[in-house]
A and B are shown apart, each in its own frame.
Chain A
Amino acid sequence: MSSTRFDAEARQGLAMVSPPLIYAVLMLAAPLITILAYSFFKDGYLEVIREFTLENYRAVWSDPIFHKVMARSLGVAFAVTLATVLLAFPVAYFLSFVVPPERKALWIFLITIPFWTSYLIRVFLWKVILGHNGVINSTLTSLGIIDEPLGFLLYNVQAMVITLAHAYAPFAILPIYVALEKIDRSLLEAGRDLGESRLMTFWRVTLPLAMPGVIAATLIVFIPTIGDYVTPELIGGGKMPMVANMVQANMLALDNKPMGSALAVTAMLIVTVISLIYLFLNRRFLRVKQ
């Protein structure tokens, strides 16, 4: 009896989620399948020859430029993730433990304000801040601290990390905040009651219990940054391409869709493998030792 009842409920539930589900799957699957198919096709002059080949992948894996660009993408993504999560944790902690409950909604609202302007504009603003005649350089010059504008502020990896870390901060703050909110406050009192200082209680109780949020934040920041296109284009000044820029160049400028597709699929595979390894390591080792 109960199983038929459950079936009825399950049917009802499925009926309710299926329209958005079908929409989402189609919109996600269709381009993915297209890209996957293209990556196995041959490239002719001005057209795509629909014959199966592994030549694109061979070319990608043996291309030293791809190695360099992929390594840069990974490096930037790692640096951005590390900086974002490390900076987001104190903010999330403050939000969860210090801000009085009736103010929390306001604070979360304030944290999401950067989303009111488009990503593109925010990236541009960083260009304004870091540029040759930008805010920092002109301020320092007018204060007489420097004579020449600093050249190392823009068009390099550090500038890209700063921009991306700022752009993804809310994505890191919110999951960590949610994990901290879920911690029963009496657990922290219990930690103190059992003889531990505030710091040790944080280390032995708060941090381990916040780890699910930290893991979520890490992946949410890492995965999109590795494929970011706008920041390398504007802040990197085109001199520091990441993998998305390379895909774009192949797809449009070089009109080599199979090659661009193979690059995209390869990058996707690398991200997937790294994420899985990260999750696995977490499950195995990242329990705080007692």
Chain B
Amino acid sequence: MTDTTATASATKPPAPRKAKSANRYAELQAAKPMIECREVHKYYGDYHALRGINLTIREGEFFSLLGPSGCGKTTLLRTIAGFEDISSGVVLIDGKDMADVPANKRPTNMVFQSYAIFPHLTVAENVAFGLRRDPRSKAEKAAAVEEALKMVGLAGYGKRAAHALSGGQRQRVALARALILKPKVLLLDEPLSALDRKMREQMQVELIKLQRQVGITFVLVTHDQEEALVMSDRIAVMFEGQIAQLDYPEALYSRPVSRRVADFIGVMNFLPVTILSEDAETVRVDVEGLGEIDLPHSQVAAKGEDDEQPMIGFRPEAMSIFPEGQPQTAPRQNGAVIDEVVYYGDMTYYDARLDEVDGTLSAPVRISMRNVFGRDIPDVGTRATVGWSPSSLILFR
């Protein structure tokens, strides 16, 4: 984690969290670097697509490049695959400089967004495409193909025509076709974006399992923040050809380094603040609707965008909301008016405005609450009590 990015190192890498992934993080931190990008720039004519990318992806890591369309994430992936030459900088894969290595000689394989299944070949011929120069016998190759198809859940599909497959099946063929070559790195270019929601969620889980099973480094490009959070060991958030933040999913969600990252990952409420004073430990702020708060520096985002109104940010689930008068345990409580109630079954989202000291109401904020049987859902237009804790707030200035 030494040479990730300047911005990422500004927030300290959080201590690996909890049982779920602590061991894995420790393992990955000890693993050797598989992909290293150093000051990678890419120009298309005058257009500066990649503006100094620095990152290290470790062996066996599930790494995601996340960002809105046009942020350069696909360009970076194609740079690693060897489909794009870089204008300057260095790309190393497994310690080797890739400058003069064409795409067909790199130890990477790609799952394309369109899957790029050869329409003139059968499923088995597609999977076997890269095995032409493999010295194994025909029977051994056929067995390997069948094994690869089995791994992606397509056992027995070998004889089918490729054009007769569904979207999900094409994706699996593309995976099998890449993984059969045992690449050091598997590159996935928005592989799930063409699938329907249910299929996508199923494939997310399958991809994670597959990655753990084969132990190959996966680099995933996606614009779907939820997908990145679900699947990745680490995520690089990119805007305009630069990495805005490179971090663990939990850190990215709970400690975004900038308002832009915060806004891109999930829902973030913003309330304007006035900075009252600052000392070595804390920053004292006056938040519209929440009053005066002391925030430790660990809750202050490092990077301020110029000339912007300082804002406090918090996630919808950082607050709880109850009908007025019901007792709450939260350390801080405010009165509020409910503007909108959106019921999702397991969750309910509330749009509420908080009471100001002067009797007016704050800008609307979104609060989410898990629904519990027997608990009333406050009504639209009624007053409610909002409970929160200063530890869940982040100051962007």
Contacts and interface: CB of A to CB of B under 8 A. Distances in A.
13 contacts: A187-B119, A189-B103, A190-B118, A192-B103, A193-B109, A193-B110, A193-B178, A194-B177, A195-B105, A195-B133, A195-B181, A196-B104, A290-B129
Contacts of A186: 112-114, 116
Nearest to B128: A290
A134 interface: no
Interface in B58-111: 81, 83, 102-105, 108-110
A154 B112 CA distance: 55
Nearest to B121: A290
A33 B142 CA distance: 56
B197 interface: no
A191 interface: yes
A187 B105 CA distance: 17
B114 A184 contact: yes
Given A184-B116, A205-B118, A287-B120, A190 B104 contact: no
B198 interface: no
Contacts, number: 60
Given A189-B83, A290-B128, A197 B104 contact: yes
A187 B118 contact: yes
Nearest to A201: B104
B116 A190 contact: yes
A187 B125 contact: no
A209 interface: yes
Contact of B129 (A184, A191, A197, A208): A191
Interface of B: 81, 83, 102-105, 108-110, 112-114, 116, 118-121, 125, 128-130, 132-133, 177-178, 181
Contacts of B81: 193
A184 B120 CA distance: 12
B367 to A, nearest CB: 44
Contacts of A204: 129
B351 to A, nearest CB: 43
A191 B103 CA distance: 10
B107 to A, nearest CB: 10
Contacts of B178: 193-194
Contacts of B118: 187, 190, 205
Contacts of B113: 186
Which among A184, A190, A193 has the greatest number of chain B C-beta atoms within 10 A? A193
A72 B163 CA distance: 43
B104 A193 contact: yes
Given A186-B112, A187-B118, A189-B83, 13 more contacts: A189-B112, A190-B116, A191-B129, A192-B83, A193-B103, A195-B133, A196-B104, A197-B104, A205-B118, A209-B120, A287-B120, A290-B125, A290-B132
Nearest to A191: B129
A192 B102 contact: yes
Interface of A: 184, 186-187, 189-197, 200, 204-205, 208-209, 287, 290
Contacts of A209: 119-120
A189 B116 contact: yes
Contacts of A189: 83, 103, 110, 112, 116
Contacts of B103: 189, 192-193
Contacts of B125: 290
In the A-B complex, list the 10 residue pairs whose CB atoms are closest, starting with the nearest.
Answer: A194-B130, A190-B116, A186-B116, A192-B103, A186-B112, A208-B120, A192-B104, A193-B110, A195-B130, A194-B129
A193 B185 CA distance: 12
B114 A195 contact: no
Nearest to A187: B116
B82 to A, nearest CB: 8
A205 B117 CA distance: 11
B42 to A, nearest CB: 17
Contacts of B108: 193
A209 B102 CA distance: 24
A244 B210 CA distance: 67
Which among B116, B132, B178 has the greatest number of chain A C-beta atoms within 10 A? B116
Which among B104, B121, B181 has the greatest number of chain A C-beta atoms within 10 A? B104
B19 to A, nearest CB: 38
A184 B118 CA distance: 9
Nearest to B124: A290
A36 to B, nearest CB: 40
A191 B129 CA distance: 8
Contact of B104 (A187, A195, A208): A195
B181 A194 contact: yes
A184 B83 CA distance: 15
A226 to B, nearest CB: 30
Contacts of A192: 83, 102-104
A290 B132 CA distance: 8
A193 B130 CA distance: 9
Given A189-B83, A189-B103, A290-B125, A196 B132 contact: yes
A124 to B, nearest CB: 44
Nearest to B120: A208
A192 B116 CA distance: 12
A184 B105 CA distance: 22
A77 to B, nearest CB: 29
A187 B121 CA distance: 12
Contacts of B116: 184, 186-187, 189-190
A195 B114 CA distance: 19
Contacts of B105: 195
Nearest to A189: B83
Contacts of B119: 187, 209
Contacts of A195: 104-105, 130, 132-133, 181
